[in-house]
Structure 1
């Protein structure tokens, strides 16, 4: 006889969902989780700054090497920094590029590289098993410390980098950023957003690569981050092993202050179905300045999510764009506050006027308490997601290390943004963001301009 009291999988699922919903009744969803992430920090004998988080949940180790070897370090030969980084995995003094790749694949290890204005980054992800990790580290150190820079590989990579730059320049949003940086940072190393030029790439020689590597990839020019299945003593041994193998004794000088910005409107004609627009304001607020989190919250309220001010006006009420976003980008010698969106070409000018008006009103009035609380939730959620996985935690720790944040930064971040008031945000915007210095760039087809269509609401 069948059991009439049994339940179906669907009813079990419904019961489970109902139980979970009941279990959160009375929970204050405005309260944020507290992080307890222990960051250990030290400096190796060779001068490498190291940050380490022990994470035993998975048998995986992430190692990130961030050298102050970005494109701002090669202003005499624009392209040298990028080519040096891209040539590192083209063979070492012990292994060919194919052998390196084959050995790493056999170990299940992954390496990545990235170039930016201020840094060049190499990362390794490996299983934490001692034998596999040791072998992966050996290959990783060989790649970073003893590159061969074979001339045939340089001849292959040069045209690849030139084609990549040309392709990026054809992307309207990248072209807009490039033009904004060129104007805001005129005469400064930050002014070359892509970080290399066709002529600079063509002129680089193997001897140039070796000289640059010997300086810029020195242990004293490195910030190292480790996250994973390691004890503190094991992490210290790895850090010492890496820093000892690298060139020694050179550290990049601090970049000069950025020039005083002047306002500009730059229109670049380029075929396409839409127009990319960027509004940039100079922002000389370091990431470790106590006022920086207030600007981050301001950016989140302005265009950080679906309920943000600009998204509400441009997408929900007017249907003008799929996305509008704002970014606070701190740099060691300056920074920018950026708003970016794409729109139908005939509304380019009218949308610029609208965004500038809304930004001015926001700076004058500041956020509401409700808007600020929503922004806090979004930033707290981003942080919790980042620390939930070793790889994203390593990337986050690398970023805050580069920003010279204190070791308790991750654990106190939510508490600090929770204490910020609407008046705090309004005050910092009025003192730090100046619309008379704005740079407005549009990249798109030249068409007859029209007024904005009526709102839907």
Structure 2
């Protein structure tokens, strides 16, 4: 928006935050849309795999629930939404991020004028302590007749405040985090098992995760999982080269610079950080830490966090066609 439009936008924001009404007709229409989207999502094998992995890892923790049931959505009332809004949408602990050509004093005055009447008496709710279930045998979820298998692996990772995070991010990047990674070179470029395998480090309030995913043809499910696990073992046990480390470092630093080069990108990044309880200067500190990571650092981090024995594995696919392949690699639970 243009700087001159700030007061008008703040007025709309103030109405949404402090005077939301949730009209019955709009709630009914949105419930129908959400229920339809949930039904569609539950038919997607990637969603089935993600849900199975979360259930396997988190058990009774709320993070195990990836999508609500459509019956739960149908039972929501406008009154329940208004109550939830009063109790959870609160000024205390909220942060407004403004990025652009604005005068700080004038912007502060405009925010105070628009949001000064926003009040709330509820209390913030933190996610319960996250305790992962012990790693068990590979879980095979049957999708009869499926032409693809969805491989998902996941385990704990260091949080944003953990000094090992920069090394783990770099290890993940070399393993499967971008197009020049080892996993892509192996099961996409060399063997043609999949189009877009990837690994990532994801952060939630109660805990962080190292995740691996690949969608492969049913006939190569076992070989693809074998190579995926092989690359995990290799990065945990065999030091990467300086060239690999430096390429991954340049990629992370470069993509972060691009992501924060626009007003919208910088605002989104800062909002995510502050919403996680981190100061705005965390980003610069993290970039400096990434630049300082050594080969010894990343090797130790990979051995601690990326080794296959520490990861929960789920495969969603045609069980009749894949069970024998997977059983050759270890115990399988169905």
TM-score in terms of structure 2 length:
0.89
Distance 2:49 2:109 in 1: 45
Q: Tell me which residue corresponds to 1:75.
A: none
Q: CA deviation at 1:279?
A: 0.9
Q: Tell me which residue corresponds to 2:260.
A: 387
Task: Give structure 2 stretches of 5+ with no counterpart.
Answer: 326-334
Q: Tell me which residue corresponds to 1:296.
A: 169
Q: Tell me which residue corresponds to 1:448.
A: 321
Distance 2:275 2:46 in 1: 26
Q: Tell me which residue corresponds to 1:237.
A: 109
Q: Tell me which residue corresponds to 2:203.
A: 330
Q: Tell me which residue corresponds to 2:43.
A: 170
Q: Tell me which residue corresponds to 1:50.
A: none
SS across alignment from 1:152: helix
SS across alignment from 1:220: coil
Q: Tell me which residue corresponds to 1:402.
A: 275
Deviations for 1:304-325, whole angstroms, at most 9, x for unmatched residues?
Answer: 2221010111111111111111
Q: Which ranges of 4 or more aligned residues in structure 1 deviate by more than 4 Å?
A: none
Distance 1:420 1:360 in 2: 21
SS across alignment from 2:225: helix
Query: Is 1:128 the counterpart of 2:6 in the alignment?
Result: no
Matches within 5 A, 1:48-67: none
Q: Tell me which residue corresponds to 1:204.
A: 76
SS across alignment from 2:208: strand
Q: CA deviation at 1:252?
A: 1.5
RMSD of aligned C-alpha atoms? 2.2
Q: Tell me which residue corresponds to 2:148.
A: 274
Query: Are residues 446 and 242 of structure 1, via their aligned partners in 2, closer, same or farther at CA, if it must alter by over 3 Å?
Result: farther
Distance 1:164 1:325 in 2: 25
Matches within 5 A, 1:137-152: 137-152=10-25
Q: CA deviation at 1:268?
A: 2.1
SS across alignment from 2:201: strand
Q: Tell me which residue corresponds to 1:193.
A: 66
Query: Are residues 268 and 260 of structure 1, via their aligned partners in 2, closer, same or farther at CA, if it must alter by over 3 Å?
Result: closer
Q: CA deviation at 1:192?
A: 0.9
Distance 2:284 2:135 in 1: 39
Aligned residues: 323
- Is the strand fraction higher in 1 or 2? 1
Are the equivalent residues in 2 in contact too, given 1:275–1:442 (CA < 8 A)? Answer: yes
SS across alignment from 1:219: coil
Q: CA deviation at 1:221?
A: 4.1
Distance 2:289 2:240 in 1: 17
* Bigger relative CO (Cα 8 Å, ≥ 6 apart): 2
Are the equivalent residues in 2 in contact too, given 1:286–1:332 (CA < 8 A)? Answer: no
Match among 228, 237, 256 for residue 128 of structure 2: 256
Are the equivalent residues in 2 in contact too, given 1:227–1:393 (CA < 8 A)? Answer: yes
Query: Are residues 257 and 435 of structure 1, via their aligned partners in 2, closer, same or farther at CA, if it must alter by over 3 Å?
Result: farther
Distance 1:375 1:412 in 2: 18
Match among 84, 95, 100 for residue 223 of structure 1: 95
Are the equivalent residues in 1 in contact too, given 2:240–2:295 (CA < 8 A)? Answer: yes
Distance 1:402 1:288 in 2: 14
Q: CA deviation at 1:420?
A: 0.1
Q: Tell me which residue corresponds to 2:329.
A: none
Matches within 5 A, 1:5-16: none
Q: Tell me which residue corresponds to 2:86.
A: 214
Distance 1:417 1:306 in 2: 20
Distance 2:119 2:52 in 1: 36
Q: CA deviation at 1:330?
A: 1.8
